[in-house]
Amino acid sequence: MDERFSISPRSRFLTPGAPGLGALVAALRAGASIRASQATQADPITRCDTPRPALFCETSGSSGAAKVIRRRPASWRRSFEVNRGIFALGPGERYGCFGHLGHSLTLYAVLEALHLGADIACLAGRGPKRQVDALREMAVTVLYATPSQLQLLARGAEAAGIEALPGIRRVFCGGGTLDAALRQRLARLFPDAELREFFGASETSFITISDAKTPPGSVGRAYPGVALRIAGGEPGEIWVRSPYLFEGYDRGGSDDTRWDGDWLSIGEIGQMDARGNLFLRGRKGRMVTVADRNVFPEEIERLIGARADVVACAVLAEPDPLRGHRLHCFVEGTAPERALRLACRAGIGPEAVPHRFTYLARLPLLPAGKPDLQALQARIGAEP
């Protein structure tokens, strides 16, 4: 397979002034390596000279220092071809994405569109209402987005009085899980679209993808070409073998990222049902003990975040000499604290009830749309 990314002559840039797009195109045409940074909004793409073409992507650093992962272009090009075959993508499609090009999900969508000959609209920096207007005016047919971005888009459409965008036919959602309430809103907004939720990471690319038969709470079955195994019982550590894995870290690293021959673990804990549907518990690195019970903050976040009166939330832990840890939940929304406590107790157990709730007008987010856990942890340390 060709070592470089490609630009189809059939692709058109619907937003030619999008930050980083010019630099990306110049690097692609030169066959150079690409470095994508989430820290620089105005200039997220830079060209690198390396012995062989490579892609360097900076991770969001939501819970620690940002890392730079290194991958071969072929590791993404393989999945471009898989998606072409499964979803009939190619010339005539118009891709839309909402993050800037330093975010790996957005960069993936743009590179896939250029590879397949589709047109591309990068709508970062526009408010939700303007993004909705752009999707209609540019006749976008395919979306790549995070749950946070889709949540904002749905609200923008409602505020603008727009009930549906029937031109959208494919929605690929990654970077988080979709709750039932948001799925219903998206079904109304995109009545003709097939919604596919996928699970993956910057290190792994696609791991699983959902379909119409995926049970509630699951992130789907293994993406084509991916093999999964659960180590240490169920739930246990998820190991992945696939042609889409990264080569290694160019800067930084993670104790949760480990290789076992061709198999890679990034420290995610989960379990599979008899049909191979994967259910996530959370990251091993975020798991804490409360009263001698293992608690995954992500499970609490999914439960609370599924409520219609919660915009976003994040759960962090602080040491407690009696119980091991105390949980602190930050909430953007209007849900009553008592209702949230009852929901956690009933849905997970008493150990999952946060010790403290703090309501914020807006939850701090990283450029990728994920909660800024470091900023929230600093806030805990500053509070009396």
Helix, strand or coil, per DSSP, at residue 152: helix
Mean pLDDT over 124-132 rounds to 92
Model pLDDT, residue 63 = 53
Model pLDDT, residue 292 = 86
269-318: per-residue pLDDT in tens? Answer: 999 999 999 999 999 989 999 988 899 999 999 999 888 899 889 999 99
Model pLDDT, residue 60 = 65
d(CA 95, CA 117): 10
Tell me which residue of 270, 268, 327, 265 sits closest to 293, measured CA to CA: 327
Q: Which residue has the higher pLDDT, 192 or 61?
A: 192
Model pLDDT, residue 119 = 98
* Other C-beta atoms lying within 10 Å of the C-beta of residue 62: 17
Half-sphere exposure (CA, 13 Å, Cβ side) for 134? Answer: 22
Whether pLDDT at 1 is above 60:
no
d(CA 198, CA 221): 9
Q: β-strand 94-97 against 119-122: which pairing, if any? A: parallel
Q: β-strand 142-145 against 170-173: which pairing, if any? A: parallel
Model pLDDT, residue 384 = 59
Q: Tell me the CA end-to-end span of the chain in Å, nearest whole number.
A: 58
d(CA 245, CA 58): 15
Whether pLDDT at 2 is above 80:
no
Model pLDDT, residue 268 = 95
Model pLDDT, residue 100 = 87
- Count of residues in the chain: 384
Whether pLDDT at 65 is above 80:
no
Going by the DSSP 8-state scheme, the letter that residue 223 receives in this structure is: P
Q: Which helix (H) or strand (E) holds 250?
A: strand 248-251
Mean pLDDT over 30-55 rounds to 88
Q: 8: exposed, middle or buried (C-beta count within 10 Å: 0-12, 13-18, 19+)?
A: middle
pLDDT, averaged across the chain: 92
Tell me which residue of 195, 149, 196, 190 sits closest to 167, measured CA to CA: 190
Tell me which residue of 384, 380, 382 sits closest to 328, measured CA to CA: 380
Looking at the DSSP bridge assignments, the partners of residue 115 are none
Mean pLDDT over 341-365 rounds to 94
Q: 382: exposed, middle or buried (C-beta count within 10 Å: 0-12, 13-18, 19+)?
A: exposed
317-331: per-residue pLDDT in tens? Answer: 999 888 899 999 999
80-99: per-residue pLDDT in tens? Answer: 999 999 999 999 999 999 98
d(CA 20, CA 111): 13
Model pLDDT, residue 66 = 77
Q: Which domains are assigned to the chain?
A: 21-282 (3.40.50.12780), 288-382 (3.30.300.30)
Q: Binning pLDDT at 50, 70 and 90, where does residue 368 land?
A: low
Model pLDDT, residue 181 = 84
Whether pLDDT at 336 is above 60:
yes
Whether pLDDT at 205 is above 90:
yes
Distances in Å between the alpha carbon of 128 and those of 131, 148, 189, 306? 5, 11, 13, 21
d(CA 228, CA 49): 35
Which of 11-15, 164-168, 242-246, 251-255 shows the lowest mean pLDDT across its residues?
Answer: 251-255
What token pair was written down for 44?
């997220």
Pair 284, 296: CB distance under 8 Å: no
Looking at the DSSP bridge assignments, the partners of residue 120 are 13, 95
Mean pLDDT over 219-245 rounds to 95
d(CA 333, CA 313): 8
Q: Binning pLDDT at 50, 70 and 90, where does residue 380 land?
A: confident
